[in-house]
A and B are shown apart, each in its own frame.
Chain A
Amino acid sequence: MIADIGYFALLIAFVTAIYAAVAAWYGKSKDKMRWVESARNATIIILPLVVLSCALLVTSILRNDFSLEYVWRVSSIEMPTYLKFTSLWGGQAGSLLFWNLLLAIFTAVAMARKWHEQKELMPYALIVISMTQIFFLGLSAFVENPFTRLDVIPPNGNGLNPLLRHPGMIIHPPMLYLGFTGFIIPYTFAIAALMAGKLDDGWIRTTRRWTLVAWLFLSLGLILGGRWAYDVLGWGGYWGWDPVENASFMPWLAGTAFLHSVMIQEKRHMFKMWNMFLIILTYSLVIYGTFIVRSGVISSVHSFARSAIGPLFFAFIAIMFIFSAYWVNRRRDELASTNSLQSLLSREAAFLYNNFLILAILAVVFLFTNYPIVSELFTGEKGFVGPPVYEKALAPLFGLLVLLMGVAPLTMWYRSSVKRLGRAMRWPAIASTITVIVLFILNIRGWGALVGFWAATFATFLTLLEFWKGTRARMKRGESVWAAFSNLMARNRRRYGGYWIHMGVLIMAFGVIGVEVFQQETQLRLEKGGSLTLGRYEMVFNDINRFPGPDDLMITEATMDVYVDGRLVDTITPRTELYTRTGQPMTIPDARSTIAEDFYVLLVNWEPTSANSATFRVFLNPLINWVWGGGIIFVLGTLIAAWPDRKKQSVAARSRRVAIGAAD
């Protein structure tokens, strides 16, 4: 009964989305605003319907209603209650429904809030967003229906995949999905602007904060995903260039390029066509990413053919792409740049270099991610591209991007002089060169790492200098250091938020170079009381215990004392967890964690461990915590940049903008 109501709500939501598209189109073409308003109300009504559907699915999970196939798949009687909630996105059908929920929230908020601001765009925005909703609601209602019943009711369910029980994995998918669905809003307004022929930067201003927020969530999702891999997957790393990871990295890249290049349009009214292309690309990659994750097409072309979901996604991406391309083509004259590039050494040019590098990275990742499919199509043999290939191809591009990240903020709009740039870069260049020489003297080798460190140090000095220059300029007005600094942040949130983000990325870059180049590892079988040495660390195997955990869990935990230079610094407990019902093992590491490095220990379960000996795999991960620390700064920077202005300020800013526009 409950499930039937849930499914019914989903069906009504689907029909409502169709109605919204038709009503918006009819209202616009017959110039009847009441129909457009009705369409808007329809998109808002979809939200409570999808909420109801999700709530009832969760209720079914909580009630252990194993007559539903989905509930049987992802839940079990013994599972803790909080996991039963998160099971909503623990499987295919549920996560698609969850996708619909987030899309419905974004849509309802956007349509309710932007109604007066962008009235001319609204009818078109309604049509575009309803098309996306029709597709995803239809997918949930007819193809991946979470309310499908089983013929025979099993006594208990499978339980959630153990890999998905970690806190990181519980919040990681919602973050990614928020990022994915968030980008649909700027796309919607972009296409609406095309259809309405209103090609000023209104759509960009309207959706600027949406874009940043979507990007923030996607970034958070990527960082949390990395942390989850590091904490749970037990391989000493955080990013494996897995197709599923790439699926969320690619829209992030396109979104990053877009975030940068819209600034040219806002400031100089250039590259309207290019920005359209980038947001369409981002949207396509969002849908494509969902498709990769949900269809399993990369792991096997056969799963693509077996499940109906693959061809449907393919058709939908094609339709939306052709639809977008049609409108871009129709408006191509109006999209042509009115202003032109003054110099190759200017802020706008720097943004374009950024776009080029990011798109080059995107192209390589796209090529490698899809190689298995292409290979299977042409040779009949499935291909595979491992992390070493990605690293070789992308390292130089990332290096150039880091350099650009430091230099670009020095450039000015219109044109910058070589002399001025040179002067601004001289001291940071010298300081970073000295830093690298010191590193070399400290016995750090490898030209790749040294070049990387140099680029990251150089960019870091340049970025810090930008903060300092701004602060000093304000201090000359008589403000104290702290007041000058915080006022600078508050008055120029977007710019300095951006620099904070750059700082975060640079700190992460140090961490990435540290781990990728200087990681050490060793594996050894130890008797109780035996020890192992890696770098400055010595580890003594004290004890090992086996005991039952919650649910069907059986835990084997080792106790290890960690010594640095002969001094006891920590006691850590790496362990293995066995989910006895499914027989799935997990290797949960533990680490002695410092700013300099992680001493990361895995209790390896290769051979069945006897009572008195066990095999350990130990990693020394230099600078790994810089990756997480940089991630936090990155997120804070994005928050600074996206934080809403107070009303008064934004009015003032708007009038100032008009003044600038006139000056242009």
Chain B
Amino acid sequence: MGNREWEVGSEKWQALRVTLYVLVLAVFLGAAIPSVAQDGSEGDDSGLKKAVTANDVNKIAKRVYCPVCESTPLDVCQTQACADWRDIIRQKLEEGASEQEIFDYFSNLYGDRVLAEPPREGFSLLLWLLPLIIVPLGAVFFSRYMRNLKATAVQSVSVPDTAVPDAAASSDYLARIEKELENN
């Protein structure tokens, strides 16, 4: 009978709902924040030419896509154009440019589409915001829908009690019966 406490509108149900919203929100914020934090932290310009390794170049090239080669990041692409772009990255790194400055350089010249991660401003901000809006909004509609389904259940008593495995009596035996019934 413990189930009744979880009925729609009950205190526990409300608590569950709020917890769910908070969880979903937390998960999404959690997904967004570390990446935001990352953005500002790069880039110290200590003058002079630095020794730049292929790994340093790859780290940036991984997240740049030239406009010609479809969906192939710069670190993988084999064309001459992409090799030239990699050289540009190397030069910029040697001159002490930060990651963000190199991304900006390419996006100023060729547009945001060369970046694996579109900037969080202007039109492409939409891209970042929409999932954060759509999914929680969907969750709200979905929980409303579930609640309505549940509400009609309270009015209509359509299921014989025998079909409801009682919590206390639901031993392995009943579980097995249920399994057998389901076999089709």
A-side residues, CB < 8 A to B, are: 233-235, 240, 242-243, 266-267, 299, 337-345, 349, 352, 356, 359-360, 363-364, 367-368, 371-372, 375, 378-379, 381-389, 392-393, 395-397, 399-400, 412-415, 417-420, 469-470, 472-473, 491-492, 494-495, 521-525, 585, 587, 605-606, 615, 617, 653, 656-657, 660, 663-664
Cβ of B3 under 8 Å from chain A: yes
B113 touches A383 (CB 8 A): yes
Please, what's the 1-or-0 string for B161-172, where 1 marks a CB less than 8 Å from any CB in chain A? 001110100101
Partner of A414, one of B13, B72, B164: B164
Do A234 and B112 contact each other (CB < 8 Å), given the known contacts A364-B135, A367-B134, A415-B164?
A: no
- In the assembled complex, the Cα of A413 lies from the Cα of B182 at a distance in Å of 10
Given the contacts A240-B71, A392-B31, A384 and B127 also touching, CB distance less than 8 Å: no
In the bound complex, how far is the Cα of B170 from the Cα of A194, in angstroms? Answer: 39
Which B residues are CB-close (under 8 A) to A338?
Answer: 158
Please tell me if the beta carbons of B164 and A385 are within 8 angstroms of each other in the complex.
no
**Among the listed B3, B71, B142, B159, which residue makes an inter-chain contact with A243, where contact means beta carbons less than 8 Å apart?**
B71
CB distance B115 to A418 under 8 Å? Answer: no
Partner of B115, one of A234, A386, A494: A386
Contact between B138 and A363 (Cβ–Cβ < 8 Å)?
yes
A418 with B6, Cβ < 8 A, contacts A340-B149, A356-B138 known = yes
Report whether A235 and B116 are in contact in the complex, using a CB–CB cutoff of 8 Å: no
B146 at the interface (CB under 8 A from A): yes
Smallest beta-carbon distance A583→chain B, Å: 10
16 CB < 8 A contacts A-B:
A240-B71, A299-B70, A340-B153, A342-B150, A356-B139, A356-B142, A363-B131, A387-B116, A388-B117, A396-B28, A412-B170, A412-B175, A417-B2, A606-B86, A656-B181, A656-B184
Q: A235-B73, A389-B118 are in contact. Are A342 and B164 (CB under 8 A)?
A: yes
Contacts known (A384-B112, A384-B114, A495-B179); A657 close to B184, Cβ less than 8 A: yes
Instruction: List residues 50-93 of chain B with CB under 8 A from any CB of chain A.
Output: 53-55, 58, 63, 65, 67, 70-73, 75-76, 78, 83, 86
Q: Give Cα A660–Cα B181 distance, bound, in whole angstroms.
A: 8
A602, closest chain B residue (CB): B76
34-61 of chain B: CB within 8 A of chain A: 35, 53-55, 58
Instruction: Find chain B residues with CB under 8 A from A473 CB.
Output: 172, 175-176, 179
- CB contacts (< 8 Å) of A387 on chain B: these are 116
B158: A residues at CB distance < 8 A:
338-340
Contacting pair B135 A397 (CB below 8 A): yes
Chain A residue at smallest Cβ distance from B79: A585
Q: Would you call B156 an interface residue if the criterion is a C-beta within 8 Å of the partner chain's C-beta atoms?
A: yes
Asked if residues A384 and B86 are in contact (CB atoms below 8 Å), the reply is no
In the complex, which of the residues B35, B63, B181 contacts A386, with contact meaning CB atoms closer than 8 Å?
A: B63
Within B128-149, the residues touching A (CB, 8 Å) are 128, 130-131, 134-135, 138-139, 142, 146, 149
Do B123 and A389 have beta carbons less than 8 Å apart? Answer: no
Closest A residue to B135 using CB positions: A360
Task: Report which of A342, A371, A399, A415 forms a contact with B127, defined as CB distance below 8 A.
Answer: A371
Contact with A along B7-50 (1 / 0, CB 8 A): 01000010000000000000110111001000000000000000
Please, how many angstroms separate the alpha-carbon atoms of A393 and B132 in the complex? 8
A494 and B176 alpha carbons, distance in the complex (Å)? 16
CA distance A339 to B160 in the complex (A): 12
Contact status B153-A341, CB under 8 Å:
yes
Q: Please measure, in the bound complex, the distance between the C-alpha atom of A153 and the C-alpha atom of B75, giving whole angstroms.
A: 40
Q: When the two chains form their complex, are residues A417 and B117 in contact, meaning their CB atoms are under 8 A apart?
A: no
Contact residue range for chain B?
35 or more
B interface list, Cβ under 8 A from A: 2-3, 6, 8, 13, 27-28, 30-32, 35, 53-55, 58, 63, 65, 67, 70-73, 75-76, 78, 83, 86, 111-118, 123-124, 127-128, 130-131, 134-135, 138-139, 142, 146, 149-150, 152-153, 156, 158-160, 163-165, 167, 170, 172, 175-176, 178-179, 181-184
User: Residue A363 contacts which of B78, B86, B135 (CB distance < 8 angstroms)?
Assistant: B135
Q: Which chain A residues border B111 with CB–CB below 8 Å?
A: 381-382
CB-contact partner of A360 in B128, B138, B163, under 8 A: B138
Question: In whole angstroms, how far apart are the Cα atoms of A387 and B58 in the complex?
Answer: 16
Q: How far is the CA of A606 from the CA of B152 in the complex (A)?
A: 66
Given A352-B146, A388-B116, the answer on whether A367 and B139 have CB atoms closer than 8 Å is: no
Asked if A386 and B165 sit within 8 Å, CB to CB, the answer is no
User: What residues on A are CB-neighbors of B114 within 8 Å?
Assistant: 384
Q: Is the CB of B146 within 8 A of A384?
A: no
Residue of B78, B146, B184 with most chain A CB atoms under a 10 A cut-off: B184
The answer for the CA separation of A47 and B124 in the assembled complex, in Å, is 48
- Are B184 and A521 touching (Cβ within 8 A)? no
Say yes or no: B116 contacts A386, CB within 8 Å.
yes
Residues from chain B with Cβ under 8 Å of A384 in the complex: 65, 112-116, 118
What chain B residues lie within 8 Å of A379 (beta carbons)?
Answer: 123
Indicate if the CB atoms of A392 and B32 lie closer than 8 Å.
yes
CA distance A492 to B152 in the complex (A): 33
B7 to chain A, nearest CB (A): 8
Chain A residues lying within 8 Å of B78, measured Cβ to Cβ, are: 585, 587, 605
Please give, as numbers and ranges, the residues of chain B lying within 8 Å of A378 by CB-CB distance: 123
- CB-based contact A606/B2 at 8 Å: no
Chain B nearest Cβ from A383, distance in angstroms? 6
Question: Which of B28, B149, B159, B167 neighbours the largest number of chain A CB atoms within 10 Å of its CB?
Answer: B149
Q: Known: A341-B149, A364-B134, A606-B83. Contact between A470 and B179, CB under 8 A?
A: yes
Alpha-carbon separation in the docked complex, A144 to B112 (Å): 34
Let me know if A396 and B149 touch, CB within 8 A. Answer: no
B residues in contact with A242, CB < 8 Å: 70-71
Chain A residues contacting B152 (CB-CB under 8 Å) are 340-341
Q: Are the C-beta atoms of B150 and A396 separated by less than 8 Å?
A: no
In addition to A267-B182, A352-B142, A367-B127, 14 A-B residue pairs with Cβ atoms within 8 Å of each other are: A339-B159, A341-B152, A342-B150, A343-B6, A363-B134, A378-B123, A384-B65, A386-B117, A389-B127, A396-B28, A414-B165, A417-B170, A418-B6, A491-B183
A420:B167 contact, CB within 8 angstroms:
yes
Residues from chain A with Cβ under 8 Å of B150 in the complex = 340-344
Of chain A, the residue at the smallest CB distance from B154 is: A340
Which 3 residue pairs spanning A and B have beta carbons closest together? A386-B116, A417-B167, A523-B54
Does B130 contact A522, Cβ atoms closer than 8 Å? no
* Separation of A299 and B65 alpha carbons in the complex (Å): 13
Contacts of A587 in B (CB 8 A): 78
Question: Are B115 and A524 in touch, CB under 8 angstroms?
Answer: no
User: B2, B13, B160, B167 — which one has the most chain A CB atoms within 10 A of its CB?
Assistant: B167
Contact B182 A414 (CB under 8 A): no
Inside 8 A of B175's CB, which chain A residues have their CB? 412, 469, 473
Chain B residues within 8 Å of A415, by CB: 3, 164
Q: Are A375 and B27 in contact (CB under 8 A)?
A: no
Please give me the residue from chain B that is nearest to A299 by CB atom.
B70
- Determine the residue in chain A with the shortest Cβ distance to B30: A396
A384 to B69, CA, bound (A): 12
For the complex, what is the distance from the CA of A414 to the CA of B35, rounded to whole Å? 42
Cβ–Cβ < 8 Å partners of B3 in chain A: 343, 345, 415, 417-418
Complex Cα distance, B128 from A368, in Å, reads 10
- Among residues of A, the one whose C-beta sits closest to the C-beta of B12 is A418
Of the residues B53, B124, B131, contact of A375 by C-beta under 8 Å: B124
* CA A379 to CA B55, docked complex, whole Å: 35
Instruction: Provide the bound-state CA to CA distance between A653 and B181, in Å.
Output: 9
Cα-based distance from A360 to B135 in the complex (angstroms)? 6
Bound Cα distance A395, B63 (Å)? 19
Q: Is A492 within 8 A of B182, CB to CB?
A: yes
Do A393 and B131 have beta carbons less than 8 Å apart?
yes
Report the minimum CB–CB distance from B71 to chain A (whole Å).
Answer: 4
